A and B are shown apart, each in its own frame.
Chain A
Amino acid sequence: MILKMISFELYKIFKKWRTYIGFLALSIFIPILIYGVSEGGNHYQRILDRNMGDQFLIVGNLVNGWYVAFITIQAMIIHIPFFITLVAGDLFAGEGSAGTYRMLITRPIRRETIVVAKYIAGFIYALVFIVFFGLISTFPAIYFLGTGDLIVPLEKIIVIPSNEIYWRFLLAYFSSFISMCLVVSLAALFSSLVNNAIGPIVGTMAVIVIFLILGELPFELFEKISPYLFTKYMTVWIDSFDYPVDFSRILKSYAVLIGHGILFFAITLLNFRKKDILI
């Protein structure tokens, strides 16, 4: 039954227009980004050349497909949770607003099965979205801009040799998937509490944005609470581009994210088991 429920949930997800907003947005944004970088004459390379002065030369294809893929992830850090939330926020609330809870719950299915199926369907959607994101942000960029080492211009400047890039990107996308599973969990929790998807979408994004801002404020109080904000761990994907990769840090982030995900799931389950379907 659970498999049928999951396939049913997935069918519903992929029959809705809102599901494709994220795919559409990426399909528009990423080609523009690639075009901008290739036609814009390697803006970053030019800045770097200028900053190097006359005495130094930059060697290698710096602004390549991998670099674009990397800045795409960086650029989409806020947007991807939004696209995920658009769908996950509707998982339960969509049934409420459409009145289909009544159809669903009067069937001989345990409510726990419904919750599990909806969560798994949400995770699968997140996986599909991240895979799509990974494919669309790497393949066209590599096709147009080529490959080479990847420069990661963050707090540290890390240059990742080309032979290490594949597994690092795979790890980054997997980490993004884990983060997005948490977004699914949170949005689904909010979704199970109300009967309109707007609340969960806005609520989830508000939590993420507020936590990100709080975690960044350079005041002692906020620096102290920062480790307790799960959003701090949602950027775990970026650790894939550290040198050397701190796997213990990544695993710790996974543990925090999965732990929060389980907590949100448990609250949803407990609430939904006893929830009166009044609409």
Chain B
Amino acid sequence: MEIVLETKSLTKKFKNITAVDNLDLVVYKGEVFGFLGPNGAGKSTTIRMLTSLIYPDQGEIYLFNKKLTANSKSILRKVGAIVESPDFYLYLTAFKNLEFLSQLYGINPTRKQIMEILDFVGLSNRWNSKVKTFSHGMKQRLGIAQALLHDPDLIILDEPTTGLDPQGMKEIRELVISLSKEKGKTVFISSHLLYEVELIANRMIIINRGKKVVEGYVKELLNEEKATYNFRLSNIERAKNILISLNFELNHDFEVNGNEMLISTKRISASQLNKIFVENGIEVFEFYRKRTLEEYFLEITRGQK
């Protein structure tokens, strides 16, 4: 697979704080790559380095197999980015902002092209409004529009759904998926919301305190985790004995909390467990899958795993 973006031992320090610490990552052509980490993990610092806003103290960044530091001008021509919130010249209209920003790529888009992009992000009816009148969501969409203007191969989006309402988040997610599926773009998307990445990314990396914690395909990472189920039962003591008889270890494979039981297992599915309890005369009031990728992510970033 063709590598679009690669970092090697990328490091950035701010005084005594190491914001990014020997970070290695690889992004392949055509994939949506999720860049995850809690707030302050070093995601924005990494993205700022990828977009030449700041310079690494150590390590190298390769984009399209070229060193970024030496070829930033030619590389950035193929990159569209939103770094943090997309801020525009508020006193200019959406159209004028896009016209100017595209000219800085050395292209002179026609009015039709700009309107098409605005239409793609759902802002064609507000093309002549000053950006200061835009909502946060509209600015985010305009941000995506400006990142697409010059038809880049790689699109870097830094937490594009931050501050949006659920509907706005959904719209941006759909936009990102369509960028990948319809336009065949490589998308590098950072987020601190795991479920968001779960919904749109093929591969992901989780970083914490500037360091890589885990990297891989989203599906593989999901398979790797144990399923955790929460059961509310009529007879906890009996259920406990049944599980012990099935070689489950208390406080390792399962925990008891009042009349609830938290069971972690890869061996037995939830429906099988349900069947076992019922067949043994235990009434199952409720059961649901407790462990999600979100919890997994939180555990990793807390260093609990």
Q: Are A106 and B54 in contact (CB under 8 A)?
A: no
Given contacts A103-B146, A108-B77, 14 further A-B pairs with CB under 8 A are A4-B104, A8-B100, A11-B100, A16-B91, A101-B53, A103-B86, A104-B104, A105-B51, A105-B52, A106-B83, A108-B76, A109-B104, A110-B73, A278-B48
Residue contact A102 to B103, C-beta cutoff 8 Å? no
Please give me the 6 A-B residue pairs with the lowest Cβ-Cβ distance, nearest first: A99-B87, A276-B54, A107-B104, A277-B53, A108-B76, A108-B77
**B74 near A102: Cβ-Cβ < 8 Å:** no
Interface members, chain B 72-114 (any A CB < 8 Å): 72-77, 79, 81, 83-92, 100-101, 103-106
Q: What is the minimal beta-carbon distance from B52 to any residue of chain A, in angstroms?
A: 6
**Known contacts A108-B73, A108-B77, A277-B54; A102/B104 CB under 8 A:** no
Closest chain B residue to A101 by CB distance?
Answer: B53
Interfacial residues of chain A within 1-53, with CB under 8 A of chain B in the complex: 1, 4-5, 8, 11-12, 15-16
Q: Would you call A159 an interface residue if the criterion is a C-beta within 8 Å of the partner chain's C-beta atoms?
A: no
A100 at the interface (CB under 8 A from B): yes
B76 CB contacts on chain A under 8 angstroms: 106-108
B55 CB-CB contact with A under 8 Å: yes
From residue B31, how far is it (CB to closest CB) to chain A in Å?
Answer: 21
Bin the interface of chain A by size. Answer: 20 to 34
Contacts of A101 in B (CB 8 A): 53
Residue contact B103 to A108, C-beta cutoff 8 Å = no
Given the complex, which residues of B lie within 8 Å of A99, measured CB to CB? 84-85, 87
Residues of B within 8 A of A76 (CB): none
Name B104's closest neighbour in chain A (CB-CB).
A107
- Bound state CA distance, A5 and B72, in angstroms? 18
B contact residues around A8 at 8 Å (CB): 100, 103-104
Question: How many interface contacts (CB-CB < 8 Å) are there between A and B?
Answer: 75
Which parts of B102-150 form the interface with A (CB within 8 Å)? 103-106, 146
Q: Are B92 and A15 in contact (CB under 8 A)?
A: yes
Inter-subunit contact B53/A276 (CB<8 Å): yes
Whether B101 and A103, one on each chain, are in contact in the complex, defined by CB atoms closer than 8 angstroms, is yes
Q: How large is the interface on B (under 10, 10 to 19, 20 to 34, 35 or more residues)?
A: 20 to 34
Task: Return the contact of A106 from the options B53, B91, B106 (Cβ within 8 A).
Answer: B53
CB <8 Å contact, A107 and B89: no
Is A98 close to B, CB under 8 A? Answer: yes
1/0 contact trace for A85-114 toward B, CB 8 Å? 000000000000011111111111110000
Cβ contact within 8 Å between A107 and B53: no
Mark interface residues in B144-162 (1 if CB within 8 Å of A CB, else 0): 0010000000000000000
A99-B87, A100-B88 known; A106-B73 Cβ under 8 A: no
Q: Is A224 an interface residue (CB 8 A)?
A: no
Establish whether residues A100 and B104, one from each chain, have CB atoms under 8 Å apart when the complex forms. no
Residues in A with CB closer than 8 Å to B81 are 106
Contact A103 B87 (CB under 8 A): yes
Name the residue of chain B whose CB is nearest to the CB of A16: B91
- Decide: B53 and A100 in contact? CB cutoff 8 A: no
- Kindly list chain A residues whose C-beta atoms are within 8 Å of the C-beta of B72: 108
Q: How far is the CA of A11 from the CA of B74 in the complex (A)?
A: 26
Q: A98-B89, A99-B85, A100-B88 are in contact. Are A107 and B55 (CB under 8 A)?
A: no
Evaluate contact between A102 and B105: CB separation under 8 angstroms.
no
Q: Are A106 and B79 closer than 8 Å at their CB atoms?
A: yes
CB distance from B136 to the nearest CB of A (A): 13
The complex places the Cα of A1 from the Cα of B88 at a distance, in Å, of: 20
Give bound CA distance, A102 to B76, whole Å: 13
Cβ-based interface call for A274 (8 A) = yes
A sample of 25 cross-chain residue pairs with beta-carbon separation below 8 angstroms, ordered by A number, consists of A4-B104, A5-B104, A8-B103, A8-B104, A12-B89, A15-B89, A98-B90, A99-B84, A99-B87, A101-B53, A102-B51, A102-B86, A103-B146, A104-B104, A105-B52, A105-B53, A106-B76, A107-B76, A107-B104, A107-B105, A108-B73, A108-B106, A276-B48, A276-B53, A277-B53
Could you say which residues of chain A place their CB within 8 Å of the CB of B87? 98-100, 102-103
Check if B74 sits within 8 Å of A100, measured CB to CB. no
Q: Which residue of A lies closest to B44 (CB)?
A: A278
A100 and B52 form a contact (CB under 8 A):
no
- 1/0 per residue, CB under 8 A from B, across A122-139: the answer is 000000000000000000
